[in-house]
């Protein structure tokens, strides 16, 4: 369980927790902070504006109607504080230049005022001044606005000060912050819950795919993954299923190849060893015709073994990247005709007619490896004789189609089953054919033609038989 938890933390789930949730958390914190700061600024600015308006209005009243004498000033201050109708929410103070409270709606008279920056600045600058902070006497958070009182002779004789507690406002701001934080927490929970569900919908099929892939890697070729979703995960499952099938087919073809090659090698070896023992044991008593027949079989089967070994060596060179071409400008028509006429005489002994379809196309020399191309021609003609020789006839032609040289070789045998056509050029594949062979000849031909920037295709010809088409460019690419 601990190992599994560590893996989950280090895997997709861990990365999602670290990345997505951390980003969402940062955004929520930023929004809560910004909104709380905005609301606080709104409340404080409105409160300050209200206090400044009151202070400015009250100061204007005193400057306009109160100015006959100091005694009248003090009487007016006392009367104003006695009739102040907002005592429950704020305090009004009249403070002289010695920082003594002349009159107050709350504080005792003749008490010394707790000096804050707004009082000092109002006296010194003769302008309204605001203070937001703690009351030096009580520690309570307050907001105060002080307005200078200027006597008729221009002398500052004190300040009119409005003071209100920020307790209620701070509580409202705190309540708003808590509500916003709760909304942010709910949003985090929603993101976390939806994310877990989303991750579960990904991790479970991915875990299933991983387990199946491990089974395939362990040798359980051909097993399939059930597709649950029609999305990228479904496409991944289909891809692995296709890979599993192809690996299974490849494994089967390799197994069949080993079995086929073993049989193919054993048959000529048996004939060679048998006739060799016969000739050795018979000494001089064996008839000349019998000895000639045995030597002919030994020669033929030796050549077949040599051909199979050559195919295997060629395939090995292709696999190792050691297969090279010796390109030169070559008369491809002459090479093809020579191969056809040479092989035609051999096919006559097997009662197979090889017909060369002549034409007047002016085929230029093309860049190619003539030895390798003759190898391709011979291999395809040999395949036509082995797999379609029962038709008794093979046709061959070479022509020019636009800027490409096209070679066609057709037999008149049973053809290729449609479902096997895409597979016949794959290595080791023999399909349903009972003819002898290693199953890699066409794979070698495909590689040689591809290295010449050409194309090799197989199809069933109209009227029966198999048509092999080779298309080569007339100029190097």
pLDDT (tens digit per residue) in 407-418: 999 999 888 888
Residues facing 130 on adjacent strands: 145
Q: What is the pLDDT of residues 326-337, one digit of tens each?
A: 889 999 999 999
* CATH assignment of the domain containing 274: 1.10.287.130
Shared domain for 313 and 342, answered yes or no, is no
Work out the pLDDT band at 46, boundaries 50, 70, 90.
Answer: very high
Shared domain for 27 and 151, answered yes or no, is yes
Structural domain boundaries enclosing 40: 13-171
Whether the predicted pLDDT of 9 surpasses 50? no
Shared domain for 316 and 396, answered yes or no, is no
Residues facing 355 on adjacent strands: 395
Instruction: Return the structure tokens found at 435.
Output: 């003819």
Whether the predicted pLDDT of 6 surpasses 80? no
- 304 vs 175, 299, 309, 372, 439, CA distance in Å? 96, 9, 9, 19, 14
Shared domain for 73 and 121, answered yes or no, is yes
Domain assignment present for residue 316? The answer is yes
330, 444, 427: which is closest to 382 by C-alpha?
A: 444
- Look up residue 461 and give its DSSP letter: P
Work out the pLDDT band at 312, boundaries 50, 70, 90.
Answer: low
Domain assignment present for residue 51? The answer is yes
Q: What is the pLDDT of residues 189-233, one digit of tens each?
A: 888 888 777 777 777 777 777 777 787 777 666 777 777 767 777
Q: How far is it, in rounded angstroms, from Cα 236 to Cα 227?
A: 9
Give the total number of structural domains in the chain: 3
Q: How many CB atoms lie within 10 A of CB 155?
A: 9
- In the chain, what percentage of residues exceed pLDDT 90? 24
- In the chain, what percentage of residues exceed pLDDT 70? 75
Shared domain for 337 and 315, answered yes or no, is no
What is the value of pTM for the model shown? 0.47
Shared domain for 309 and 372, answered yes or no, is no
Shared domain for 123 and 31, answered yes or no, is yes
Mean per-residue pLDDT of the chain: 79
Domain assignment present for residue 8? The answer is no
- Of residues 145 and 72, more confidence is placed in 145
Domain assignment present for residue 7? The answer is no
Q: How many CB atoms lie within 10 A of CB 133?
A: 13
SS3 166: coil
Work out the pLDDT band at 280, boundaries 50, 70, 90.
Answer: low
Shared domain for 345 and 289, answered yes or no, is no
Q: What is the pLDDT of residues 94-124, one digit of tens each?
A: 888 888 888 888 765 556 778 889 999 999 9
- Among 9-13, 70-74, 96-100, 129-133, the range scoring the smallest mean pLDDT is 9-13
What mean pLDDT do residues 333-351 have?
87
Sort strands 91-96 and 156-165 into parallel, antiparallel or unpaired: antiparallel
Shared domain for 362 and 256, answered yes or no, is no
- Domain end position, chosen among 171, 187, 217: 171
* CATH assignment of the domain containing 164: 3.30.450.20
- Of residues 128 and 67, more confidence is placed in 128
295 Rama sector, left if φ>0, alpha if ψ -120 to 50, beta otherwise: alpha
What are the DSSP E strand ranges found in 369-463? 393-401, 404-411, 455-460
Domain assignment present for residue 133? The answer is yes
């Amino acid at each position: 369980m601990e190992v599994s938890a560590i893996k989950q933390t280090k895997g997709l789930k861990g990365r999602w927790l670290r990345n997505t949730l951390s980003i969402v958390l940062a955004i929520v914190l930023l929004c809560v902070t910004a909104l709380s700061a905005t609301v606080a600024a709104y409340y404080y600015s409105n409160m300050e504006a209200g206090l400044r308006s009151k202070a400015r209005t009250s100061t204007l009243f005193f400057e306009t109607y109160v100015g006959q004498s100091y005694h009248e000033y003090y009487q007016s201050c006392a009367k104003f504080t006695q009739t102040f109708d907002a005592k429950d929410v704020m305090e009004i103070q009249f403070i002289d230049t010695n920082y003594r409270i002349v009159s107050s709606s709350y504080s005792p008279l003749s008490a010394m005022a707790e000096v804050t920056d707004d009082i000092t600045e109002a006296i010194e600058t003769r302008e309204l001044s605001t203070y937001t902070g703690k009351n030096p006497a009580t520690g309570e958070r307050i907001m105060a606005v002080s307005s200078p009182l200027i006597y008729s002779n221009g002398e500052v004789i004190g300040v009119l000060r409005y003071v209100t507690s920020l307790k209620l406002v701070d509580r409202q701001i705190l309540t708003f912050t808590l509500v916003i934080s709760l909304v942010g927490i709910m949003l985090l929970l929603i993101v976390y819950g939806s994310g877990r569900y989303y991750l579960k919908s990904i991790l479970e099929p991915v875990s299933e795919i991983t387990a199946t892939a491990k089974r395939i890697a362990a040798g359980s070729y051909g097993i399939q993954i059930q597709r649950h979703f029609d999305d990228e995960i479904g496409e991944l499952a289909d891809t692995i299923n296709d890979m599993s099938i192809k690996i299974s087919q490849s494994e089967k073809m390799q197994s069949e190849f080993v079995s086929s090659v073993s049989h193919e090698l054993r048959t000529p070896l048996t004939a060679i060893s048998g006739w060799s023992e016969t000739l050795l044991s018979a000494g001089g008593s064996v008839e000349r015709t019998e000895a000639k027949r045995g030597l002919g079989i030994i020669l033929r089967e030796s050549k077949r073994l040599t051909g199979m070994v050559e195919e295997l060596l060629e395939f090995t060179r292709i696999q190792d990247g050691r297969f090279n071409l010796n390109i030169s400008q070559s008369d491809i028509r002459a090479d093809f005709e020579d191969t056809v006429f040479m092989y035609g005489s051999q096919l006559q002994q097997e009662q197979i007619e090889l017909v060369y379809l002549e034409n007047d196309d002016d085929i230029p020399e093309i860049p190619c490896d003539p030895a390798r191309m003759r190898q391709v021609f011979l291999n395809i003609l040999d395949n036509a004789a082995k797999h379609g020789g029962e038709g008794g006839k093979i046709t061959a032609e070479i022509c020019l189609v636009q800027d490409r040289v096209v070679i066609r070789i057709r037999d008149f045998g049973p053809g290729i089953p449609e479902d096997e056509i895409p597979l016949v050029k794959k290595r080791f594949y023999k399909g349903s054919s009972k003819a002898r062979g290693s199953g890699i000849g066409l794979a070698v031909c495909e590689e040689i033609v591809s290295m010449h920037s050409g194309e090799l295709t197989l199809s069933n010809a109209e009227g029966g038989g198999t048509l092999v088409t080779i298309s080569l460019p007339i100029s190097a690419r």
